[in-house]
C-alpha cells in the first residue's frame, strides 16, 4: 500500500480488525519513511464491474462515487451512518449478483432511487432532482405531486 502523504511503497500494518458490520477489514497503517499514520479498508469484490453510461462510455464501477452521491442526498438528514452503509452495501451486492459485468448506469440510479425512497423522502427527492435532471420548479412540483398520490 502506497503512503498517501509521501508516496512510499513501504508501509506497515499496525492493527487490523473487522468493521462493525463485518463487511470490510479496517487496517491502521504507518509509513516508516515519513512517520504518517492512515487507515485503509479492505472489502470483498465478487467481480469487476463496468458502468455503461447513456452515451455508451464505459468506466469502472466506483463504490466511493456511489457512496458520495448517497451521502450528498442525505446531507443534514436524520439518518444514522450505519443505515447508510447498509444501503450502499446492499446496492453493491445487488449489482455484483446481477450476473453481468457491464451494468447500465440507469440500473444503478434505479437501485439508489428505490433505496432512498425507503430511507428518507427528502433525500429521495434530492437525488431524483439530479438523476431525472429537473430543469424548473414545475418538475419538482410534478414529482412531489406523484409522491403524494402513491398509495404506499
Give pLDDT tens digits for 80-135: 988 998 899 899 988 888 778 899 998 999 999 999 989 998 898 888 878 777 77
pLDDT value at 33 more than 80: yes
pLDDT value at 1 more than 70: yes
pLDDT tens sequence across 66-78 = 999 999 999 999 9
Quote the pTM value: 0.66
3-state secondary structure of 100: coil
Find the helix or strand (DSSP H, E) in which 125 lies.
helix 121-131
Burial of 39 per CB tally in 10 Å (0-12, 13-18, 19+): exposed
pLDDT band at 150 (very low <50, low <70, confident <90, very high): low
Residue labelled with grid coordinates 511503497: 9
Amino acid at each position: 500500500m502506497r503512503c498517501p502523504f509521501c508516496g512510499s511503497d513501504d508501509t506497515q500494518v499496525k492493527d487490523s480488525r473487522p468493521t462493525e458490520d463485518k463487511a470490510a477489514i479496517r487496517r491502521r497503517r504507518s509509513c516508516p519513511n515519513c512517520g504518517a499514520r492512515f487507515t485503509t479498508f479492505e472489502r470483498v469484490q465478487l467481480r469487476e464491474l463496468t458502468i455503461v453510461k447513456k452515451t455508451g462510455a464505459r468506466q469502472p464501477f466506483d463504490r466511493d462515487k456511489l457512496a458520495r452521491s448517497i451521502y450528498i442526498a442525505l446531507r443534514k438528514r436524520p439518518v444514522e451512518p450505519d443505515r447508510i452503509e447498509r444501503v450502499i452495501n446492499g446496492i453493491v451486492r445487488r449489482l455484483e449478483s446481477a450476473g453481468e459485468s457491464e451494468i447500465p448506469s440507469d440500473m444503478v440510479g434505479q437501485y439508489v432511487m428505490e433505496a432512498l425512497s425507503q430511507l428518507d423522502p427528502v433525500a429521495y427527492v434530492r437525488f431524483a432532482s439530479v438523476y431525472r435532471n429537473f430543469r424548473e420548479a414545475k418538475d419538482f412540483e410534478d414529482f412531489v405531486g406523484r409522491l403524494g398520490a402513491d398509495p404506499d
